[in-house]
Structure 1
């Protein structure tokens, strides 16, 4: 999830789209904030960059395991040696943090999950090529040290442990320890596929925001890949999605379809409790229950700045997060090259205004079934039928992408397997 880093995608997908849009509200990087109105204007300007849809990006995340024993706890020293010069500074403070051969950047999550952030491209074919090249390189790099990338969206065997000792993650770990265990599971044991699409023009933004959410339950059901945890089946299609939805509703709940998503998001961001507050000392724990709006009113020490607000925004973890572009975060990690399939489907569903509108029509009946998607996946008949129709719509709108025959074969194979597969649940009964 790139908890500790402003993704490379934010600059390329967001700032490059329409930099002039933010000039009227931009504050100095460390400028003090004194009013809610000013803070909301800042959030709206940095989280929604408007312009014609152009760029695509992905972030691929995996749990990491020893090849000879997937249940053996990972340690930082082993991971540092395996990643070598590509280690981020959270793993090795002296690392040059070199990009991967095709330009992707590596981050390491709190529990040792490894993530590749692609450079955004205008070509889906190019995105697939460069990201798959980097994935194969990373896999070989880890294999040389006896490690491998996980195949699931949730660590199926190990307990959650905090691998990285940095102030941000320590504060998050403490915060989630006061709520429930789900936040710590999300931090240390989950792996997702994040697909990034442009917000679009001001006229397109509301529909694209709505579509990103409304297709979510069906796509989560279609690509559910997190049914085991702590060495046993959970009884759910995606325990990862269930964990995301329940870990901290203030920052992880879904968002509604609204006419002005930028204004909605700005209000929500300010009304979300602080997760951590950066300090020169090592203690980043935030005063519990104080929102950013409360901090503006003096409920916490110090005067918040635009830089503090920017940092606060990266501590919100909803299924769809605006980062200047729309970061679709709800999909489980997929095995091997199969990340390509949901990436192609989402890209196709956002390929034109007409396709976006049609996708919303198809998805409308199941748009609110997030919990059912997590619990039952395609065993829920409405989600199964919606997923099949969305896949059909996407496949019918691939003509402009120029996809390689091997990619088309992968799409057909994976979709046939998933849509035709017997459900793990013989009936839609209560999930365990």
Structure 2
């Protein structure tokens, strides 16, 4: 979905602390009836003949140059490690969103196939260490900043991929579709989504001990950048406070390397002798990585990239149903409400609930029980959202294969790891759900 912050007119003069708070409150929660839906799908790029081999920068550059000529409706961007991301336009229905992104992905895959390349859906590259493909001042600065907390930042930049679902903030008024409840529920249901769609149990060819290694990266990074704000505070006020108190990643420069200050909050910057302007605020907002990021709409960032060409459709459909169908939203709210006690006062993703989701997936009994109820509610809601039989069947198959059995895609990888060579594992995992959405059976 479009970035609501960048849609605003630029204002070059310095902004005060009070102006920042007012701007963030006005920009980041645009309330009203839920009408639009979007998705951002990230992919790792691999060699078709030898999927475990990293693709050389020269081959990536040539392939990406060819992709620029495609008449896509989605925005196509390249991540620091060479991952590809497709970001949909806001869609007025679930099927419009699926149809647009599916068509764009078909076009992208066709071009990559001619270059001998393909796309893989993993939350974390199971085989290769982080290697940066893009060398620009902003990524140089990001790397320097994130390195202060450890190596996890580089892995997030270069070897991770996700399915990010974008939802309208919701009504101003309270209720199942009110923005206050949707904000709160996104952080509690988010743990269920982490567990149910975990698909990153490996790094550098080894089991990491997490079902979602990608999610574990966020728990190891600077909490000022990756923690959720206080859920006990009104959403606009809580997010404005988080934006002001969050550390400044970098100060941009027209030429040369960007400055990477240490221990400077945006609030402190506004009080300095050289305060930021509106464009600095806009950029600062893009450097914050909480599990739910308000950008006019709500951007849910906790779901791992999924296996298969169409694996991303199931988390999109399930999440849309649980938030945009009033009956399903009420069921989900009642189901995850008891989980809040387990989360305690610590924010996501560092509280016990989120850590259990990332480490154990649906092996966790409470998360398993909640997932069964929520996924069943989503399945019942999909006809009301206009989902086709194909989409409903894909969700039903996912429930039967994973949710009902207390499993997630990461468990398939770990099961396959036993008794198979790494080459066999990597090749099979890539095609595990490949084509299932079109009625093809890839086997086990």
Task: Report the equivalent of 2:136.
Answer: 166
Q: What is the rounded CA distance, in whole Å, between the counterparts of 2:10 and 2:228 in structure 1?
A: 31
Alignment match, 1:71: 52
Match in the other structure for 1:246: 220
* Secondary structure in 1 matching 2:299: strand
The match for 1:201 among 162, 171, 182 is 171
SS in 1 for 2:387: coil
1-side partners of 2:278 and 2:158: how far apart?
Answer: 29
Q: Which runs of 5+ in 1 are unaligned?
A: 1-7, 16-25, 88-96, 427-432
Which residue does the alignment assign to 1:145? Answer: 115
CA contact (8 A) 1:207 1:356 kept: no
How far off is 1:176 after superposition? Answer: 1.4
Give the corresponding residue for 1:318: 290
User: Aligned in 2, Cα 1:194/1:377: closer, same or farther, shift over 3 Å?
Assistant: same
Separation in 2 of the partners of 1:260 and 1:208? Answer: 12
The corresponding residue for 1:62 is 43
Matched residue SS, 1:51:
coil
Q: 1:153, 1:259 → 2: CA distance?
A: 31
> Secondary structure of 1:9's match?
coil
Alignment of 1:30-49 (within 5 A): 30-34=12-16, 36-49=17-30
Superposed CA deviations along residues 341-399 of structure 1, whole A, max 9, x for unmatched, are 11111111112445433312101233421000010001111111111111011112123
* Residue pairs, 1:291-306, within 5 angstroms: 291-298=265-272, 302-306=274-278
Q: Distance in 2 between matches of 1:83 and 1:75?
A: 12
Alignment partner, residue 333 of structure 2: 360
Does 1:156 find its partner at 2:146? Answer: no
Paired residue for 1:343, among 313, 316, 319?
316
What does residue 19 of structure 1 align with? none
8 Å contact 1:42–1:306 — kept in the other structure?
no
Structure 2's unaligned 5+ residue stretches are 344-352, 416-444
Q: TM-score with structure 2 length normalisation?
A: 0.84
Shift of 1:74: 2.6
| Equivalent-residue separation in structure 1 for 2:74 and 2:292 (angstroms) | 22
How far, CA to CA, are the matches of 1:403 and 1:38 in structure 2? 43
Displacement of 1:99 in angstroms is 4.4
Alpha-carbon separation, structure 1, partners of 2:10 and 2:199 = 43
Instruction: Return 128-137 or 311-320, whichever deviates more.
Output: 128-137
Cα distance in 2 for partners of 1:260, 1:354 equals 24
Q: In 1, Cα distance between the equivalents of 2:36 and 2:21?
A: 26
Structure 2 vs 1, CA of residues 270 and 246 (structure 1 numbering), >3 Å: closer, same or farther?
A: same
CA distance in 2 between partners of 1:344 and 1:221 (Å): 17
1:27 shift after superposition: 7.8
2:150 pairs with 1:180: yes
Other structure's SS at 2:15 match: coil
Contact 1:14–1:198 (CA under 8 A) maintained in structure 2 = no
Structure 2 vs 1, CA of residues 356 and 420 (structure 1 numbering), >3 Å: closer, same or farther?
A: closer
User: Which residue is equivalent to 1:232?
Assistant: 206
Match of 2:3 in 1: 10
Change (3 A) 1:253 1:99: farther
Contact 1:99 1:105 in 2 (8 A): no
Give the distance between the partners of 2:46 and 2:249, measured in 1 at CA.
29
Q: Cα 1:268–1:290, aligned 2, differ >3 Å: closer, same or farther?
A: same
Contact 2:201 2:208 in 1 (8 A): yes
Tell me what 1:398 maps to.
382
Match of 1:372 in 2: 356
TM-score when normalising by structure 1: 0.87
Q: Paired residue for 1:290, among 247, 254, 264?
A: 264
Other structure's SS at 1:142 match: helix
Greater mean alpha carbon deviation, residues 66-75 or residues 170-179: 66-75
Say which SS state the counterpart of residue 311 (structure 2) adopts. Answer: helix
Aligned residues: 394
| Contact preservation (8 Å) 1:104, 1:118 | yes
- Tell me the CA shift for residue 75 of structure 1: 3.1
Structure 1 runs of 4+ aligned residues shifted over 4 Å read 421-426
Deviates more, 1:395-404 or 1:159-168: 395-404
For the structure 1 residues 338 and 175, does the alpha-carbon distance in structure 2 shift closer, same or farther, using more than 3 Å as the test?
same
Residue 256 of structure 1: how far off its partner (Å) = 3.8
Q: Is the 8 A contact 1:338 1:414 kept in 2?
A: no
Structure 1: distance between partners of 2:229 and 2:19? 22
Give 1:411's aligned residue: 395
1:273/1:291 contact within 8 Å kept: yes
| Correspondent of 2:94 among 109, 124, 132 | 124
Given that residues 160 and 184 in structure 1 are in contact (C-alpha distance below 8 angstroms), is that contact kept between their aligned partners in structure 2? yes
Deviation of the 1:254 alpha carbon: 2.8
